Amino acid sequence: MVITSGYRCQDHCAKIGSTMTHTTGQAVDVSVSGGPAYELLGIALEEGFTGIGVKQKGAHKGRFLHLDDLEYKPGEHIRPTIWSY
């Protein structure tokens, strides 16, 4: 598994149209698909990650899991949460 995105500065997130979750250093995107993605998803849930994004459609090289451990703040998405891309 390869980490394809870790910390990002706010300018980069704005440029690529991404949320700011990576700007805190508490988020990572991991290139993974198939069985290993399923395994990593289970581990992430067990370890208490509060945000899990799943991209498992399309070419295998473009598939990934987003994992973060951000805390819930009023007015933001309820956490823990899982979403798909």
Q: Which residues pair with 81 in a beta bridge?
A: 51
The CATH number of 2-84, from 3.30.1380.10, 3.20.20.140, 3.40.50.620, 3.40.718.10, is 3.30.1380.10
| pLDDT band with cut points at 50, 70 and 90 for residue 16 | confident
Write the Ramachandran bin of 75: left for phi over 0, alpha for psi from -120 to 50, otherwise beta: left
Q: What is the pTM of this model?
A: 0.86
Q: What is the pLDDT of residue 12?
A: 80
CA angle 52, 76, 82 (to 5 degrees): 20
CA angle 76, 73, 78 (to 5 degrees): 50
CA–CA separation, 65 vs 46, rounded Å? 15
Residue 9 pLDDT > 80: yes
Pairing of strands 27-31, 2-5: antiparallel
**Single-letter amino acid code for the residue at 2:** V
pLDDT mean over 19-34: 88
